[in-house]
Amino acid sequence: MTAADLRVKKTLLGIENSFLELLKSKEFSKITIQQIADRAMINRATFYLHYTDKFHLLEELIQKRMDRILNIYRPAAHLTEGILYKDRFINTIKYVFQLVEEDSGFYELLIKREDIGNLKHRFETAILHVFQERFHSLFGQQALPLPKDILLTFLSTAISSMLYWWLANSKPYTPEQMALFIVQLSIKGPINGSGLELTP
Amino acid sequence: MTAADLRVKKTLLGIENSFLELLKSKEFSKITIQQIADRAMINRATFYLHYTDKFHLLEELIQKRMDRILNIYRPAAHLTEGILYKDRFINTIKYVFQLVEEDSGFYELLIKREDIGNLKHRFETAILHVFQERFHSLFGQQALPLPKDILLTFLSTAISSMLYWWLANSKPYTPEQMALFIVQLSIKGPINGSGLELTP
DNA sequence: ACAAATATGTTGCTTATTTGACAGTTACAC
DNA sequence: GTGTAACTGTCAAATAAGCAACATATTTGT
């Protein structure tokens, strides 16, 4: 059952595609293992060699995506030499958007459905972990006027919300542009960053 | 190796799709077994379990289509009771066009390529066989003023040419319409059938 | 509430496919 | 030329997947 075996790769791929196809036309609770197997052109028993049930399958599919976010490429220290904190920050956000863009078939399907997985919350926590893990690389050892956790939570929910907006509005900007918007708003704050004036 | 086994069905399907995909971008001679295997997500050795080489594969793909034409559905005698010879004639031609339409991905790819299979000739012979085999059902026991073989050959090449024209011009009419055109031209002849006047 | 139908997990046995290796051929660059 | 890289066809051993049958659940219709 090593995932290197072509047969395994092919059935896993088949199950995944079959399941996502079915999700387009049916709600999760109405999908049966037999239907998944039929579309994937595999025997029903084979499904159980890889997943315990459809909940497990869904969970794996989501977790796989979250893992990709958690393992976003981070250049080795000597490669970031001389690169501004700001640019590292931009790149990290850009990568998140790129990952979602590459897999937008999956994400566009899932975010608008309440019958399955609280995806938004999982987004937020995944992003939170990324920023937690590489806080110093991104922001340096600067003194903070407020608890780090508050800053990180604020950032994560903001980015997650922007992702949702972006998907719901059919990705009107590139990942790069989205990252720039977010960084601008993060640096100057949403009020000053947007050019709003609070004083008449 | 019964074709009922899901694994067999899936690999045969994979090989076929993979091969046709490759044919879109490469000429036949440049295609390797490894490339076919890679796209189909099968091991190269598996290819040889089903085909001796790529020539065999191509041959099977074409033959499969010709077999479908040769085995065009013919309603049982008691079902054709009271149906005119003309209508049976129309239906038979219509079925041929429908078969090609259902599989037009394959046909549109193949007819315009000289590097592979003399498809047009095989079309003609397949159609010829169909009409030979059901001559009496289609035309009855009428006395002919010319050899039957000449009539059948004339008809077959005409239909085959119409198929080619139809595909090359992106199927501008339905199979039904094409059948009607052909029957009209066959009954009245291309001159009178088209309304042309030879006398000034 | 019941019965009938459908869906779920699981099993033993069979079989198609994978894998890596092999020797022989073809293609191509230096 | 001569090497070397890629393609071909075939093999034995290991294994994933197929299949049919089973006993339980769950759903559905009346």
Q: What is the CATH number of the domain that holds A69?
A: 1.10.357
Q: CATH code at A29?
A: 1.10.10.60
Contact call for residues B29 and B115 (beta carbons, < 8 A): yes
Task: Assess whether A28 and A115 both reside in one domain.
Answer: no
Task: Assess whether A45 and A72 both reside in one domain.
Answer: no
Task: Assess whether A29 and A80 both reside in one domain.
Answer: no
Residue A45: domain span: 3-51
Q: Is the pLDDT of residue A114 over 80?
A: no
B126 touches chain A (CB under 8 A): no
Please give the Cα distance from B157 to A151 (Å, whole number).
78
Task: Assess whether B26 and B65 both reside in one domain.
Answer: no
Contact call for residues B152 and B128 (beta carbons, < 8 A): yes
Please give the Cα distance from A48 to B166 (Å, whole number).
49
Residue B15: inside a domain:
yes
Task: Assess whether A101 and A178 both reside in one domain.
Answer: yes
Please give the Cα distance from B193 to B180 (Å, whole number).
11
Task: Assess whether A46 and A81 both reside in one domain.
Answer: no
pLDDT at A116: 75
Looking at per-residue confidence, does B198 or A134 come out higher? Answer: A134
B49 touches chain A (CB under 8 A): no
The DSSP call for residue B114 is S
CA to C1' distance (Å), from B46 to D12: 15
Tens of pLDDT, residues B19-64: 999 999 999 999 999 999 999 999 999 999 999 999 999 999 999 9
Q: Is the pLDDT of residue B84 over 90?
A: no
Please give the Cα distance from B37 to B18 (Å, whole number).
8
B9 touches chain A (CB under 8 A): yes
Give the percent of chain A with pLDDT over 90: 60
Distance between B44 CA and the closest CA of chain A, angstroms: 11
Residue A196: inside a domain:
no
Chain A residues close to B42, C-beta within 8 Å: 6
Helices A104-111 and A85-102 pack at an angle, to 10 degrees, of 80
User: Nearest CA to A19 among A42, A2, A3, A1?
Assistant: A42
pLDDT at A17: 97
- Under the banding of pLDDT at 50, 70 and 90, the label for residue A102 is very high
pLDDT at A111: 83
**Residue A7: which nucleotide is closest by CA–C1'?**
D16
- Under the banding of pLDDT at 50, 70 and 90, the label for residue B13 is very high
Task: Assess whether B65 and B84 both reside in one domain.
Answer: yes
Residue A127: inside a domain:
yes
- Under the banding of pLDDT at 50, 70 and 90, the label for residue A115 is confident
Which DSSP string corresponds to A132-156?
HHTHHHHHTT---SS-HHHHHHHHH
Please give the Cα distance from A63 to A106 (Å, whole number).
12
Residue B33: inside a domain:
yes
Looking at per-residue confidence, does A51 or B83 come out higher? Answer: A51
Q: Tokens for B65?
A: 């289509």
Average pLDDT of the residues in A68-77: 89
**Nearest beta carbon to residue B9 from set A10, A13, A41:** A41
CA dist B30 → A72, B22, B23, B58, B116 (Å)? 39, 10, 9, 14, 12
Q: Tokens for A24?
A: 């387009």
Tens of pLDDT, residues B110-130: 887 877 767 888 888 999 999
CA to C1' distance (Å), from B5 to C17: 12
Chain A residues close to B9, C-beta within 8 Å: 41
Residue B199: inside a domain:
no
Q: What is the average pLDDT score of chain B?
A: 89
Last residue of a domain, one of B27, B51, B75: B51
pLDDT at B93: 94
Task: Assess whether B46 and B72 both reside in one domain.
Answer: no
- Under the banding of pLDDT at 50, 70 and 90, the label for residue B196 is low
Contact B42 A9 (CB under 8 A): no
Polymer length in residues for chain B? 200
Q: Which residues touch strand C (CB under 7 A)?
A: A 4-7, 10, 32-34, 44-45, 48, 52-54; B 1-2, 5, 7-8, 10-11, 41-46, 49-50
State whether residue A15 is helix, strand or coil.
Answer: helix
pTM: 0.84
Residue A56: inside a domain:
no
Please give the Cα distance from B126 to B121 (Å, whole number).
9
Half-sphere CA count of B89, side-chain side, radius 13 A = 20
CA to C1' distance (Å), from A68 to D24: 39
Task: Assess whether B65 and B164 both reside in one domain.
Answer: yes
Q: Tally the domains of chain A.
A: 2
How far from chain centre, in Å, is Cα B148?
22
**Residue B56: which nucleotide is closest by CA–C1'?**
D9
CA to C1' distance (Å), from B48 to D10: 9
**Nearest beta carbon to residue B41 from set A10, A42, A43:** A10
Residue A175: inside a domain:
yes
Q: What is the average pLDDT score of chain A?
A: 89
pLDDT at B46: 97
Task: Assess whether B68 and B92 both reside in one domain.
Answer: yes
Residue A197: inside a domain:
no
A10 touches chain B (CB under 8 A): yes
Task: Assess whether B91 and B145 both reside in one domain.
Answer: yes
Q: Is the pLDDT of residue A1 over 60?
A: no
User: Which of the residue ranges A34-38, A78-82, B87-91 has the most confident prediction, judged by mean pLDDT?
Assistant: A34-38
Contact call for residues B74 and B134 (beta carbons, < 8 A): yes
pLDDT at A22: 96
Task: Assess whether A118 and A178 both reside in one domain.
Answer: yes
Tell me which nucleotides of strand D come within 7 A of a protein CB.
Answer: 6-12, 15-21
